[in-house]
Amino acid sequence: MKRINFTTIMAFMAVMALFSCKKDTRSLDDQLTAAGTLSAPANATALKLQPGGSSVPFKWSAANAADGGVVLYEVAFDKADGNFSTPVYRVLSDGSGVQAQATIPQDTLNKIASLAGIASSSTGTLKWTVMASKATNVQTTTGTNSLQITRPAGFAVPPTALYLTGTGTEAGGTDLSKAIAFKQTAPGVFELYTSLQVGNYQFTDKATSAGIRYYIDGSGTIQQGSQTTTVGTTTGPYRIRLNFNVATSNIVSIQSLGLFMSAYNTEIGQLSYTGNSTWSNARIPVEFYQFSWGRDERYKFALHTSAGVEYFGSVNVNNVAPSGQPTSYFNLLPVSNAQWDNTYKFDPSIDKRNAKVDVYFRPSAAYTHTATAVN
């Protein structure tokens, strides 16, 4: 009897499998036609953009893929004299690129217009078309539509950080490593409590020579450029607010900061500016007011500016005693001038003693204050 060699059998089976298996391969069909008519916005449409305005729908007739598969679309924008070889911007269509329309926010169109060289508060022309693609095959619609864009005042791409520098600042010079940081209160909106002296100042989005420079012109509008703003003879503490979304500035001098005690309905002491966004008074005499039901210890702060009096107090309309409360209890927020609302309560140890009061409007943290008893 012949023995069957197992190794021989396995080799035979492998050869048979190799010849019996037919690889099923199909080539990818990436053929497609370009998108058709650009239907909206119509050619030569005029758009007056507004910050946060309603989105604008861009529509066109669909492209056709030879295999009936999915086609991806991008809206391409270019300058009036461009040929779309290097568009200034592309936007994927709705539905992650599969729909024959793109809903584009006005803020994005404002950014595109800026990239195309249209200045803020100015009117210029963009043109757009559609690029359809399947795999590596990209077909650009031969037709284009133009848009007459009027940009709002402001910066299409506002800074995400801001610094104050110059001879008129607390840093006292142009050493950018000593530039003073602003607090960002909203996208494109910045605020700083600081002092200004005779000299000049400007702003930068980086505390290095690589930063973009800004200045305030004679009308109070924020402009990009290396010019500076001059500080005259009115020196002292200021609050600087800048809104790059609409290119506006609001700068007020701070005349005084008072400790307002509700029961007396008046300010019982004044704090002096000591630098670094801080106001202090080492000894303010405090005596709680005696009512029939007990002694009242409620207080908040009155900020006197060149634009009027503003009040800062607690987030809580009716507050509790400070003992055992988190540090956020002492945070300062703009509040109304209501005599009793949004006040804090002094610690009982301060009654009939002096209080050391410090107010911090520092940009690196929440605005806050401390009040402690001293002899």
Sign of CA dihedral 315, 316, 319, 322: negative
Q: What does the pLDDT read at residue 9?
A: 45
SS3 state at 14: helix
SS3 state at 106: helix
Tens digits of residue pLDDT in 284-298: 999 999 999 999 999
Token code pair at residue 42: 């119509």
Determine contact, residues 147/123, Cβ cutoff 8 Å: no
Tens digits of residue pLDDT in 101-149: 999 999 999 999 999 999 888 999 999 999 999 878 899 998 999 999 9
Share of the chain above pLDDT 90, in %: 80
CA 327 distance to own-chain centroid: 27
Tens digits of residue pLDDT in 215-262: 999 999 999 999 999 987 778 999 999 999 989 999 999 999 999 999
Verify cis geometry, omega within 30 degrees of 0, for the bond prior to 41. yes
What's the whole-number mean pLDDT along residues 265-274?
A: 98
Distances in whole angstroms, Cα of residue 173 to Cα of each of 132, 195, 219: 55, 14, 25
Name the H helices within the chain.
6-20, 106-115
Q: Minimal CA–CA distance to 120: which of 147, 94, 149, 98? A: 149
Tens digits of residue pLDDT in 153-212: 889 889 999 999 999 999 998 899 999 999 999 999 999 999 999 999 999 999 999 999
- Helix and strand element counts for the chain (H, E): 2, 29
Is the pLDDT at 1 greater than 60, yes or no?
A: no
Sign of CA dihedral 315, 320, 322, 324: negative
Determine contact, residues 335/309, Cβ cutoff 8 Å: no
Pairing mode, strands 189-196 and 183-186: antiparallel
Burial class (CB within 10 angstroms; exposed 0-12, middle 13-18, buried 19+) of 203 = buried
Determine contact, residues 166/178, Cβ cutoff 8 Å: no
